[in-house]
Structure 1
Amino acid sequence: MAIPEPFGPRLRAMRVARGLSLSEFARRTFYSKGHVSRIETGVARPSVEFAQRCDAELAADGALAALVRTTTASPAAVAEDDNDDGMWIMTMSPDGSSFVPLGRRELLMGGAMLLSGLAVTRPAAAAGEVHLGHHTAMLASAREIGQTAHPQAVLPIVVGQAQALRLLAEHSQGADAKAVAALSSRTAEFAGWMAQEAGDERMAMWWTQRAVRAAEAAGDTHTAAYALVRQALITMYNRDHQRTIALAKQAQSVPGTPSRILGLAAQREAQGHALAGDHTECMRALDRARAHLEAAEDGAGGPVIGTSHVPDPVAAATGWCLYDLGKPAAAAAALDREVVRINPGSARARARFGVRQALAHAAAGDVARACALAGEMLGHAALVNSATIRTDLNRLAATLRRSPRHPDVVALGPSLAAALHPGEPGSHLA
């Protein structure tokens, strides 16, 4: 990709206008003088993170990041087909390393036996005798397992339950049918999250759409609104700030949406504004998120929507956003306060925010602290094998490469490389 021609001259003009020498500006942004010089002269290409740091230091309100931001296309919408059941039916990959969808063609060629292992052949109980307590407990257990296990290990459990609930719904009537459909929707939504954690965005979108359709069958617009928040999470990790903001706003516009979902949607909107470098709108959205979440009533009759493992999700999201706004020192301080409050047993949540905490310290120039934090988090990251967490691990590795001779970076290198490239012996950070 060609270097955006306006960036270097624009950066130099803004730096000079603020009366900052090249050395002073490099010191403030925690980049080397040579690196800044190469970018200003067009020899090197700026990263989005570099542009965000410059925006924050020069109070440019995202103008510099907009010059270099490349929006990764979000996964294409999966065709809605009432008869397309491909992803309800799952099998192991040939090498046994992952759980993958089995298409209709493969099913017709001999996969029917797999379906019998997942499906409920016929509910024995009459509609009035349907009990959802067991399935509700199963989903709650799967969510807990998901905090300490690879997503590939959780998907078979959740997909099997989703299939069972779907078939159960077909044989239920009245209030029972709505209750089954509602739980089916929640199960499909969680399957979408585990698919995203496994790195399969197409499957994540497919399951999210299934969650919406099951919710509609139950007359539930709440889950449909939350599904928009889930879609916004996918676009956020693709660094598509425009779609992230649009989806989050759409979720907030659904009539009758409960306060908790409104709060989660506002929080996602804030993360989109942070990617865009818009500090003012980000903080406004975070304020709305806190107000909605504080007004939310404790959920009853089903699993909590959204994370239940982060004590103060808005405070943690604030630290997350401050990093994307190019303020790593402030982000590090915020995350220092919040990560210690996350139960160490919640490995996925702990690793998600802990890795970003380490990244913030590295970007703020505290390499020793960053390496110490990363060392603590790599075990959690390996345990949950999250594609989204690896996104920040890659950024952390790139940031630490700016200090290749630092003894802590050298010591951390093999462990960090192993976390980034599991199963590849001999990997190095360099």
Structure 2
Amino acid sequence: MPPVAFGEALRLRRIRANLSLSELAGRVHYSSSQLSRVENGRREPSPDLARLCDAALNAGGELSVLVPAPAAAAGPSRSAPSREADQELRAAADDGVGAPPSALCPAVLPEEDEAEGFRSVTHFAVHLDELRRLAQRMSPAPVLGQVSSAVDVLTMLARAAQTPAVRRQYLELLAFYCEFAGWMAQESGKRQEAERWIGRTEAVAREAQAFDLADHTFIRRAGLALYQGDARRVTEYAAEAGRRGAGKPRILALAALREAQGLALEGNGDRCTAALNRAGELLEAATASGAGEGRGAEAAQSPDARLRPSALVVGSQCTPSLGGLVGGWCLYDLGRPDEAAAMIEAGLKQLPVRATRLRALFTARLALGHAASGQLTAVVPVMDGLLKDAQGLCSHAVRSQLQLLARALRRRQARPGMRELHARVAAASRCAGCTATG
């Protein structure tokens, strides 16, 4: 859609609202000259500006749809979720449990009974929990290397298991390792590698009958689409997760939260609010059924629930704290940055200390909300805290938010102290939390 179409629509909406250029500029925190160039088609509007104008003029998303989403990174084209899942399942069958084990593994494993299998599973479950803790303090790249090595060993153990019960335990644990590897690949900015890990997670989880984890892979796919700015794919994947996760409150809650983010991205405020309300009810149901910080409710009802170590959690370990944070995230995309900042700030207080990556991501979003609402002095202490908390994380998700913040600050460099702040944010956006040489 050419920029002139947006400009004409913006001018018409502004005139109907009986607002001057300067009055609208004050509401969206852009200069009158910038808005004039947009209205006259001499400057392309950004998605952020479109959302702010939508909110300021009560346009209900009509302006946002005139601005195309940022082009997604190059990669294989995708169609409907079910078709993509079929393709990834076939690929996972080629490189899944039957993949060549590490050369460090012995060609022949000693005979093992169920007691030995249980000890091995316990060992690897504790190891995964430790890797998750490590990932909260350092770059994802070396952690991903450790996870990949464990995947090789577990693949070998699953293949050599002598009883179906032991094999299923190994496969379930292997699926959780693959899911964690997908997250670390995403945090490293390796989208295609993350997609491969997600596909392998679903294949192994279904073989292990860990259906809650298999359903959750569609929420992970929706997360990848979110950071590509693809609202349609976010909502499609979230809806597919909801369909597959029927009867599983935790999966349904996480799917509703992701769906709300996709709906906010496309400017659909009413449906976004409905999805957030639904997610809140589901989170309460999941917590009441014992699924809040641990296994899904359906796993607790399984005859083999005792075989899943408590360290294996489907989705974020901080799920009960996500409602307000995601709500604030959505308000920003709906062009209401001041409300977004207030909600995120309140939500951050509910996060446990250990959730360093999640805190860094939403702290970056908080800074973005302050900048978009014109509260520039509030950005400085937020950035000070963010750079301290995110030291060494090198998070691709955090970088994506800081890149948006850098663009927002670039047009405000004439304000006192903003030139230095922009330089700090721009440096951090190249490798969030790393040293200046990172």
Instruction: Give the TM-score category using the shorter length.
Output: 0.7 to 0.9
Deviates more, 1:249-258 or 1:347-356: 249-258
Among candidates 139, 164, 176, match of residue 166 of structure 2: 176
Instruction: State the Cα distance separating 1:378 from its structure 2 match.
Output: 1.9
Task: Say if 1:255 and 1:337 are closer, same or farther in 2 by CA, change over 3 A.
Answer: closer
User: Does the 8 A contact of 2:96 with 2:200 survive in 1?
Assistant: no
Q: Tell me which residue corresponds to 2:315.
A: 306
Contact 1:331–1:360 (CA under 8 A) maintained in structure 2:
yes
Aligned to 2:362: 353
Residue-by-residue CA offset, 1:140-187 (whole Å, 9 max, x unaligned): 111111111111021011111122112211112311111211111111
CA contact (8 A) 1:120 1:164 kept: no
8 Å CA contact retained: 2:219, 2:258? yes
Matched, 1:320 2:306: no
In the alignment of these two chains, the number of paired residues is 402
How do 1:110-259 and structure 2 match up within 5 A?
Answer: 115-117=102-104, 119=105, 121-128=107-114, 129-131=116-118, 132-172=121-161, 173-254=163-244, 256-259=246-249
Taking the aligned partners of 1:282 and 1:237, their CA distance within structure 2 comes to 18
Task: State the match for 1:373 in structure 2.
Answer: 382
**Residue 304 of structure 2 aligns with which residue?**
none
Output the amino acid matched with 2:26: R
Determine the C-alpha separation between the residues in 2 that align with 1:59 and 1:209. 41
Alpha-carbon distance in structure 2 between the residues aligned to 1:407 and 1:317: 32
Asked if 1:29 is matched to 2:38, the reply is no
Q: Once the two structures are superposed, what CA deviation does each residue of 1:334-387 show, in whole Å capped at 9, x if it has no partner?
A: 011112333454321111000000100000000010122112102333421011
Q: Counterpart in 2 of 1:95? A: none
CA deviations on 1:385-416 (whole Å, 9 max, x unpaired) are 01111010001111111210333323324432
Partner SS for 1:407: coil
- TM-score normalised by structure 2 residue count: 0.86
- The answer to whether the 8 Å contact 2:238/2:256 transfers is yes
Q: Which residue of 2 aligns with 1:108?
A: none
What amino acid is aligned across from residue 150 of structure 1 in structure 2? S
The answer to whether the 8 A contact 2:318-2:355 is kept is yes
Q: TM-score, normalised by structure 1?
A: 0.87
Gaps of 5+ in 1: 90-103, 105-111
The 3-state SS of whatever aligns with 1:116 is: coil
Q: What is the CA distance between 1:256 and its match in structure 2? A: 4.8
Identity over aligned residues, as a percent? Answer: 34
Residue in 1 that maps onto 2:91 = 81
Could you tell me how far 1:83 is from its partner in structure 2?
7.0
User: 1:209-254 CA distances to partner (integer Å, 9 max, x unpaired)?
Assistant: 0000101111232111100000000001111111110110111111
Judging changes above 3 Å, is the alpha-carbon distance between structure 1 residues 413 and 120 closer, same or farther for their aligned structure 2 residues? farther
For 1:236 and 1:218, the matched residues in 2 are separated by 29
Per the alignment, residue 410 of structure 2 pairs with 401
User: Aligned equivalents of 1:182 and 1:358: distance in 2?
Assistant: 39
Residues 1:419 and 1:344: Cα distance change in structure 2 (over 3 Å): farther
Asked if 2 retains the 8 angstrom alpha-carbon contact of 1:127 and 1:171, the reply is no
Indicate the residue corresponding to 1:53 in structure 2: 52
C-alpha contact (below 8 Å) 2:265/2:333 kept by paired residues: yes
User: In structure 1, how many angstroms separate the alpha carbons of the residues matched to 2:265 and 2:42?
Assistant: 25
**Alpha-carbon separation, structure 1, partners of 2:405 and 2:97:** 34
**Residue aligning to 1:101:** none
Alpha-carbon distance in structure 2 between the residues aligned to 1:58 and 1:385 = 38
Separation in 2, partners of 1:289, 1:317: 10
Identify if the C-alpha distance between structure 1 residues 418 and 294 changes in structure 2 by more than 3 Å, giving closer, same or farther: same
Q: Distance in 1 between matches of 2:402 and 2:96?
A: 33
Aligned amino acid, residue 261 of structure 2: Q
For the residue of structure 1 that corresponds to 2:244, the secondary structure is coil
8 A Cα contact 1:88 1:159, kept in partner: no
Cα RMSD over matched residues?
2.5
- Taking a change above 3 Å as real, the CA distance of residues 409 and 245 of structure 1, as seen in their structure-2 partners, is same
Is 1:267 aligned to residue 257 of structure 2?
Answer: yes
- Give the unaligned 5+ runs of structure 2: 77-83, 296-308
